[in-house]
């Protein structure tokens, strides 16, 4: 009996010793938990549904083998460097509330023990959530918040894949200049006097305030006159006074930064008051949602919106067509700016984890700072993903880029977005000036 006990003890010790000698990858967790914080209810719930669907599709392509998809993460059936570990997404609803967002981040970190965070769409919520992640040393990848200030804080645990509003707004001014120089497909050179005066109306938030500031900076740089720069309360029941002010400015170009409900109300009020500028341009968000199209119908023809993804991208990127097909089967809609950026944000998480080979925060941080994802892997038409690790924009993807689309009615009678900028990838002639209501 004594010998039997001694033998059992020896085998147990040997098993422990062998376990300690097993390579780290073999002991890797079978589940990698990513906390995802989006607006799933409230005025931006429509965007939240797109964001969630985009992230879920990326996780599905990571966790399952999809041999027919020309994307590295779709071939492995999990994180290969961690013995096929699967991604689990834990969704939380911040309701557009920065304080709630911060509380949810703490719960995800302390209670759910997540390995990282993805979110949060609203720049104001991303600001507070990323501060919590910085406090706890938990990596956060942001795919869809565009306030420039988010990557100007020197944070060491925050990375952003999407271009920000300074880049997007610069694209708009390049389009306006291109109109005056005859560079826009289907439009003869426009007299600059038609476009010289611009006015803006943006929601009074972290995002909208930064957009307004960028417009103020870029207008004189491009030699345009800013007549009005309004900030309005979000989810306002009435925007009549703001629209009257825009009309009185007699600006040829009107610029907006609005989420879905505000974007719809703004366009309805512009139409009611018969405001007739030459250009109406929205900063994505509410201007790029299925509800914007379905609610307003033909009234949106000629409106411009910036984005990072438009359905016409599939004409130049077959991979985008493959993923868009899966997304359309899942949701009934094409990928849009929000869903494509959420997909890319989670995809970036997959590449970082693959490179890190571990869920250790330090390993993830090192991988994120060194990662270079080539554009051929992405659904968005970017050069790729590469984060600045030094300088004034730490954590910003320096390989991203934007698109400007215009709502136009197709041959099938359906309203869709045609690419009008960059000029070399334009998918249709631009409608100019904005049609009469």
136 neighbors 117 (Cβ within 8 angstroms)? no
pLDDT at 144 over 90: yes
The full set of domain ranges for the chain reads 26-163+315-385, 166-307+403-425
User: Which candidate, 340, 283, 4, 338, places its Cα nearest to that of 148?
Assistant: 283
354 neighbors 80 (Cβ within 8 angstroms)? yes
The Cα–Cα gap between 162 and 168 comes to 10
The Cα–Cα gap between 193 and 22 comes to 72
102 neighbors 76 (Cβ within 8 angstroms)? no
The Cα–Cα gap between 31 and 33 comes to 6
| End-to-end Cα separation, the chain, in angstroms | 95
* 24/247: higher pLDDT: 247
CATH number for region 26-163+315-385: 3.40.50.2300
Mean pLDDT for the chain overall: 91
The Cα–Cα gap between 307 and 287 comes to 10
Say if residue 111 is exposed, middle or buried (CB neighbours under 10 Å; 0-12, 13-18, 19+).
exposed
184 neighbors 178 (Cβ within 8 angstroms)? yes
Percent of the chain with pLDDT over 70: 93
Determine the pLDDT at residue 23: 40
User: Which candidate, 129, 97, 215, 118, places its Cα nearest to that of 160?
Assistant: 118
Domains 26-163+315-385 and 166-307+403-425 share a fold: yes
Mean pLDDT value of segment 128-143? 98
Q: 286-303: per-residue pLDDT in tens? A: 898 888 999 999 999 999
β-strand pairing of 116-119 with 140-142: parallel
Q: Which residue has the tokens 């995802």?
A: 36
pLDDT at 425 over 70: yes
**Residue 431 contacts by C-beta under 8 Å, 6 or more apart in sequence?**
301, 302, 406, 408
- ∠ CA 416-417-419, nearest 5°, is 150
pLDDT band at 25; cut points 50, 70, 90: very low
β-strand pairing of 403-409 with 279-282: unpaired
User: Which candidate, 262, 255, 305, places its Cα nearest to that of 277?
Assistant: 255
Determine the pLDDT at residue 189: 97
91 neighbors 38 (Cβ within 8 angstroms)? yes
Say if residue 72 is exposed, middle or buried (CB neighbours under 10 Å; 0-12, 13-18, 19+).
middle
431 neighbors 415 (Cβ within 8 angstroms)? no
pLDDT band at 4; cut points 50, 70, 90: very low
User: Which candidate, 162, 98, 93, places its Cα nearest to that of 128?
Assistant: 98
Q: 169-205: per-residue pLDDT in tens? A: 999 999 999 999 999 999 999 999 999 999 999 999 8
415 neighbors 297 (Cβ within 8 angstroms)? yes
Q: 234-289: per-residue pLDDT in tens? A: 888 999 999 999 999 999 999 999 988 999 999 999 999 999 999 999 988 889 88
pLDDT at 26 over 60: no
The Cα–Cα gap between 316 and 408 comes to 20
Percent of the chain with pLDDT over 90: 81
Q: 343-381: per-residue pLDDT in tens? A: 999 999 999 999 999 999 999 999 999 999 999 999 999
pLDDT at 28 over 80: no
Rg, the chain, Cα only = 24
pLDDT at 21 over 90: no
Q: How many CA atoms lie within 13 A of 177 on its CB side?
A: 14
User: Which candidate, 219, 52, 250, places its Cα nearest to that of 143?
Assistant: 52
141 neighbors 368 (Cβ within 8 angstroms)? yes
pLDDT band at 315; cut points 50, 70, 90: confident
Determine the pLDDT at residue 19: 43
Any idea which fold 166-307+403-425 has?
A: Rossmann fold (3.40.50)
Determine the pLDDT at residue 165: 87
User: Which candidate, 380, 286, 290, places its Cα nearest to that of 331?
Assistant: 290
Beta bridge partners of 117: 35, 140
DSSP 85: B
Q: 375-414: per-residue pLDDT in tens? A: 999 999 999 999 998 888 999 999 999 999 999 998 888 8
Determine the pLDDT at residue 29: 52
pLDDT at 2 over 50: no
pLDDT at 22 over 70: no
Determine the pLDDT at residue 11: 43
**Residue 227 contacts by C-beta under 8 Å, 6 or more apart in sequence?**
197, 198, 199, 249, 250, 251
The Cα–Cα gap between 93 and 332 comes to 23
22 neighbors 15 (Cβ within 8 angstroms)? no
């Amino acid at each position: 009996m004594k010998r039997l006990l001694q033998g059992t003890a020896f085998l147990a010790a040997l098993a422990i010793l062998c376990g300690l000698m097993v390579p780290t990858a073999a002991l890797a967790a079978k589940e990698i938990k990513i906390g995802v914080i989006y607006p799933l209810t409230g005025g931006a719930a429509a965007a939240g549904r797109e964001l969630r669907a985009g992230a879920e599709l990326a996780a599905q392509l990571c966790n399952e083998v999809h041999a027919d998809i020309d994307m590295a993460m779709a071939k492995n059936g999990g994180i290969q460097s961690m013995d096929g570990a699967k991604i689990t997404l834990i969704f939380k609803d911040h309701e557009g509330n920065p304080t709630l967002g911060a509380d949810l981040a703490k719960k995800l970190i302390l209670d759910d023990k997540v390995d990282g965070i993805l979110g949060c769409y609203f720049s104001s919520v991303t600001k507070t959530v990323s501060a919590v992640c910085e406090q706890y040393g938990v990596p956060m990848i942001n795919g869809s918040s565009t306030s420039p200030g988010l990557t100007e804080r020197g944070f060491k645990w925050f990375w952003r894949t999407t271009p920000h509003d300074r880049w997007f707004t610069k694209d708009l001014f390049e389009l306006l200049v291109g109109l005056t120089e005859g560079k826009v497909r289907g439009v003869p050179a426009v007299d600059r006097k038609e476009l010289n005066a611009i006015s803006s109306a943006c929601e009074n938030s972290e995002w909208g305030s930064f957009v307004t500031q960028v417009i103020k900076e870029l207008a004189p740089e491009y030699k345009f006159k800013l007549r009005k720069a309004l900030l309005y309360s979000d989810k306002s029941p009435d925007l009549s006074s703001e629209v009257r002010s825009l009309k009185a400015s007699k600006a040829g170009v009107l610029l907006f930064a609005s989420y879905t409900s505000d974007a719809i109300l703004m366009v309805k009020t512009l139409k009611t008051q018969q405001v007739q500028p030459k250009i109406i341009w929205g900063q994505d968000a509410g201007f790029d949602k299925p509800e914007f199209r379905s609610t307003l119908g033909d009234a949106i023809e000629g409106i411009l919106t910036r984005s990072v993804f438009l359905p016409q991208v599939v004409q130049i990127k077959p991979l985008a067509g493959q993923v868009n097909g899966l997304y359309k089967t899942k949701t009934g809609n094409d990928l849009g700016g929000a869903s494509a950026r959420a997909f890319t944000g989670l995809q970036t998480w997959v590449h970082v984890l693959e490179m890190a080979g571990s869920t250790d925060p330090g390993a993830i941080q090192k991988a994120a700072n060194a990662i270079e994802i080539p554009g051929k892997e992405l659904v968005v038409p970017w050069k790729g993903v590469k984060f600045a690790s030094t300088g004034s924009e730490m954590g910003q993807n320096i390989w991203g880029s934007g698109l400007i689309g215009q709502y136009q009615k197709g041959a099938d009678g359906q309203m869709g977005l045609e690419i009008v900028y960059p000029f070399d990838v334009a998918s249709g002639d631009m409608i100019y000036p904005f049609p009469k209501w």
